[in-house]
Structure 1
Amino acid sequence: MLYLSELDPTWNNDELAFFTNPEAAWLANPVALAACLADAASATAGTPIDALFWCAGSWGNLYPFAGRGPTLGSRARETSLSAARSLAALHRRGLARRTMGEDALCESPIAPFLPKSQYKLSMFYPLPETQRAHVIGESPLRWGEWRNIPAVGEDHLYLLWRWNDCCATF
């Protein structure tokens, strides 16, 4: 899935991103953010909670769908959150669809919220994640805190894995 953030006017403008996703107003409260603790624990165990669509597990909050995010923590966490936000923005606009589940066997229905369990990520650069992939929101302490190379490998590249249920008729 190719996403060019340079062509997206909402990616570098927080206000525009806020107005294109009005649900961000009611998700920006302490109760909604506290619910993300359950998603963080579940994602670190390998199964993110799809019902908590505003959470990105231990990476933070998915809203707003903009390129600016919290800069506290590791580069692996920051870049993974950016990847998840761009994927959530594509789902919100109908450009990415749900490809897993019984109703997605022969067609892929529009999913306005990110189905986190449908995707996994693997770091491709600077140090490839060769043995496994991680789910959206999984703690970088398990897969990537050591994958940043200062001054040389600060631009991270991820390989996106998507679950596809297909209908093969014979």
Structure 2
Amino acid sequence: MNLNHNIPLITLIVFIMTVPLAYGAGGACKGKVLNPVTDICWQCMFPVKMGSVSYGNGAEPAPGNVTSPVCACPDSKGVLIIGVSTAFWEHARLIETVKDPFCFPVMGTGMTNPKPGFSSGENRSKEYGDSDYAFQQAHYFYFPAWSILKLFMDFPCAENKAFDLAYMTEVDPMWNDDSLSFIINPEALLFGNPVSQLACVADSVGATMSYPIDPLFWCMGSWGSFYPLSGSMIENNPFNVNAGLAARMLFKLGRETLLYDTGINQCASAGVVTPILVKSNYRLQVARPVRGNDCIPIGRPSLIWGTAKNPPFGTTNTSPDNFLWSLTRRRVCCVGYALN
């Protein structure tokens, strides 16, 4: 279920301020508004490649599917543009994965759950059942950081949108019910076997050393399986759960044709619809509860990046198990001039 993508930021703020706040319902949702300058890891935009030259983080290969330093692409009017191939990591989206429904850590506030206890997060270990289990809600925001901060406004590759809440799973029955989620991922039945899951070991190794293996599209490395595309996971580690659900949100949006991959075709400025997620085109950074300094490929073990990022009693930023992720995506484009 897709919410209106055209709600201006001021309308969204007024809406949240005019409904009962979660603070009045016991203070489950606490925090402060995201500061895009201090809470975002700006090093995550590197390395950048322009033509045949790369800048920043020389240990990592330059992003994007760029095979030539020179490019030629038609614009919206069919006029040919000759230019320089450009690739970088773009700060484009925010994803919240929260145990408290209707809680928005990015804004430091939330709404009262109309049905207290309904759709709340859950995390239990095997001692309370046959297997580990966890469930969280998720929110997806437009966050074109350069546009919000009025940086590089004349750069044609930068997305020019406003901050906006684009999707919230509390009102999505497919996220809250594994059986209903099969409507959009019937192929999940093919991968629920030991042989398919054994292949995910290789994906975990790839994500640990460099990037995940895209042909193993059902795997999230050490975080588990992408399927089902719902909010529940057979997992107990809070970092694997929340990072995995943030990745699942991307896969789910792609399956619903709401996610456009900007790292595939440099001539498609708006991106390409990807019903099967290209995992290596996305990285996550923890912004809440505790800011992280790592740009995490999908599936990288939490032992590498999760230390002290989720204090048991929360922080002034947010309550425990309410996570905010800054998403950087590969962006390839052609920077040049039209041939009139």
TM-score by length of 1: 0.92
Percent identity, aligned pairs only?
A: 38
Which one of 245, 249, 252 corresponds to residue 86 of structure 1?
249
With 4-13 and 115-124 compared, the bigger mean Cα shift is at: 4-13
| Mapped partners of 1:9, 1:154: distance in 2 | 22
Distance apart, 1:150 and its partner CA? 0.7
SS of aligned partner of 1:105: coil
1:93 maps to amino acid? E
The answer for the alignment partner of 2:192 in structure 1 is 28
- Whichever of the two has the greater Rg, that structure is 2
TM-score by length of 2: 0.47
Which one of 210, 220, 226 corresponds to residue 56 of structure 1?
220
SS of aligned partner of 2:286: strand
Distance apart, 1:151 and its partner CA? 2.8
2:178 maps to amino acid? D
Distance apart, 1:104 and its partner CA? 4.1
Kindly indicate whether residue 287 of structure 2 is the aligned counterpart of residue 111 of structure 1.
Answer: no
Q: Report if aligned partners of 2:184, 2:255 keep a CA contact under 8 Å in 1.
A: no
Distance apart, 1:36 and its partner CA? 0.5
2:321 maps to amino acid? E
The answer for the alignment partner of 1:169 in structure 2 is 336
Q: Report if aligned partners of 1:99, 1:105 keep a CA contact under 8 Å in 2.
A: no
Select the structure that is richer in strand: 2
| Mapped partners of 1:156, 1:110: distance in 2 | 27
The answer for the alignment partner of 2:147 in structure 1 is none
Distance apart, 1:18 and its partner CA? 1.8
Select the structure that is richer in helix: 1
Q: How many residues align?
A: 167
| Mapped partners of 1:51, 1:154: distance in 2 | 31
- Quickly say closer, same or farther: Cα 1:147–1:70, change in 2 above 3 A: same
The answer for the alignment partner of 1:136 in structure 2 is 298
SS of aligned partner of 2:283: strand
Distance apart, 1:8 and its partner CA? 1.8
Q: Report if aligned partners of 1:40, 1:56 keep a CA contact under 8 Å in 2.
A: yes
| Mapped partners of 1:77, 1:95: distance in 2 | 24
SS of aligned partner of 1:159: strand
2:194 maps to amino acid? P
1:166 maps to amino acid? C
SS of aligned partner of 2:333: coil
Q: Structure 2 stretches of 5 or more lacking a match? A: 1-92, 94-140, 142-166, 315-319
| Mapped partners of 2:191, 2:223: distance in 1 | 16
SS of aligned partner of 1:154: coil
| Mapped partners of 1:71, 1:38: distance in 2 | 19
Q: Structure 1 stretches of 5 or more lacking a match? A: none
Q: Report if aligned partners of 1:98, 1:104 keep a CA contact under 8 Å in 2.
A: no
2:238 maps to amino acid? R
Kindly indicate whether residue 15 of structure 2 is the aligned counterpart of residue 15 of structure 1.
Answer: no
SS of aligned partner of 1:15: helix
SS of aligned partner of 1:129: coil
With 77-86 and 140-149 compared, the bigger mean Cα shift is at: 140-149
The answer for the alignment partner of 1:156 in structure 2 is 323
- Quickly say closer, same or farther: Cα 1:145–1:45, change in 2 above 3 A: same
Q: Report if aligned partners of 1:94, 1:111 keep a CA contact under 8 Å in 2.
A: yes
